[in-house]
Amino acid sequence: MVIIVGLLIVFVVILIWQPWKRRDCRWRQDARKLADGRVLFTCAACGAEIALPKGREPTHCLAGEQ
Ligand SMILES: [Zn+2]
């Protein structure tokens, strides 16, 4: 019985925490340049895309935000 309750708690914690949405992004600079001079970055982990001004790099993961 204790084992079953323990497994349930772990299951609920995983559902709430959702670790698969907290992967760190691995940003790769995309070869495509945008028309306005910004550079496109693509995440190899979650597929997120973000365009930033030249010289800047994305710092946080966008997984789950799109
Ligand atoms: Zn990502």
Residue 4 pLDDT: 94
| Residues within 5 Å of ion ligand 1, judged at the Cβ atom | 25, 43, 45-46, 48, 61, 63
Phi-psi region at 55: left, alpha or beta (left = phi > 0; alpha = psi -120 to 50): left
Instruction: State residue 37's pLDDT score.
Output: 84
What is the DSSP code string of 19-65?
Answer: GGG-PPP-EEEEEEE-TTS-EEEEETTT--EEEE-TT----S--TTT
pLDDT of residue 3: 92
Residues of the chain with pLDDT under 50: none
Q: What is the structure's pLDDT at 63?
A: 66
Give me the pLDDT at residue 22, please. Answer: 60
C-alpha to C-alpha distances, 35 to 7, 38, 43, 66, nearest whole angstrom: 52, 7, 20, 23
Ligand 1 midpoint to CA 53 (Å): 19
Question: Tell me, what's the pLDDT at 15?
Answer: 81
Tell me the β-bridge partners of 43.
Answer: 27
Domain boundaries, the chain: 24-66
Q: How far, in Å, from the CA of 23 to the mean position of ligand 1?
A: 7
